[in-house]
Amino acid sequence: MEPGSGLGKIRDINLNMQLLEQTKDFILDAVFPRYCIWCKKEGALLCERCFSLWTPRQMQGIQGSRGIDLHIASFAYADPVVNQLIRHWKYHFDEQAWELLQRKLRMEWPLVREIAHGHRLDAIVPLSLHYKRGAERGFDQAEVLAGDLGQYLQMPVSRYLQRSRETGKQADRKTEDRKKEMKENPFIARGYLDGARLLLVDDVWTTGSTASAATEALRAAGAEKVICYTIAQG
């Protein structure tokens, strides 16, 4: 075997995978062309002109409740573009939707960094899906968000939370149904978090029931402070 031939094969496999991915994208774009969710022009999920004109409805620091010290949300979920981008990303794993959201979020994250440093937070904790839901969806949006935000803030991501049971899709449920679902806490904290100061992250805050249940589990394990960050509130 020639020196480096193994590496050459790996490179060939990677190139083939990239070509397959590009071919798949080309076919999908040809069969199912994309239209801008704002102006309906063909070509992209949100065309550059509309992206430059789009000013998301802003949210900022919101007083915490039910054990949460503070809730921070960048955008309002009622903003139609925010709503559509999150849905495309969350339910269809649309990478273009996440890239567009990221570009706007990075303009808002200096505020999150200021709050995180001001409260001397230790780690980011994703409000992760139950493993069955994650397998069905193919990815976990809270973990993706936590990973990207962790890189931006230079803060470690710690998976201190585990869902002991599946709670179903919360976005489509009425407030009372959500409260009943959360009556028996579906979260378990891993380990003892003596004095930990944590940033809990998720994509959307609706009623706060899920975040409150997660915070209760973290507090029971010894967390001193829990601040929650979500992309949107609505």
Structure confidence by residue, pLDDT tens digits, 40-90: 999 899 999 999 999 999 886 676 677 899 999 999 999 999 999 999 999
Burial of 94 (0-12, 13-18, 19+ CB in 10 A): middle
* Confidence band, pLDDT 50/70/90 cuts, at residue 93: confident
| Beta-bridge partners for 232 | 75, 204
The answer to whether 204 and 232 have CB atoms below 8 angstroms apart is yes
Cα distance between residue 108 and residue 210, in whole Å: 24
Q: Which pLDDT value is given to residue 77?
A: 95
Question: What is the Cα–Cα distance from 224 to 203, expressed in whole angstroms?
Answer: 23
- Tell me the pTM: 0.80
- At residue 153, the pLDDT reads 97
Write down the pLDDT at residue 1: 44
Nearest alpha-carbon partner for 227 in 148, 214, 179: 214
pLDDT band at 3 (very low <50, low <70, confident <90, very high): very low
pLDDT of residue 90: 93
- Higher-scoring residue by pLDDT: 6, 126: 126
> In degrees, to the nearest 5, what angle opens at C-alpha 56 toward C-alphas 53 and 57?
135
For residues 166-191, average pLDDT: 66
pLDDT digits (tens, 9 = 90+) for 55-67: 999 886 676 677 8
Identify the structural domains of the chain with CATH numbers, from first to last. 56-167+175-233 (3.40.50)
Alpha helices in 119-228 (DSSP H): 131-137, 141-153, 175-181, 209-220
Q: What percent of the chain has pLDDT over 70?
A: 76
Q: What pLDDT is recorded for position 223? A: 97
**What dihedral angle (degrees, nearest 10) is formed by the CA atoms of 219, 149, 129, 127?**
20
Res 28 pLDDT > 70? no
CA distance 10 to 21: 16
CA distance 154 to 22: 32
Give the neighbor-by-neighbor strand order of the sheet with 123-126: 61-63, 70-76, 225-233, 197-205, 123-126
Q: What is the pLDDT of residue 130?
A: 86
Give the per-residue pLDDT at 2.
Answer: 46
pLDDT for 205: 94
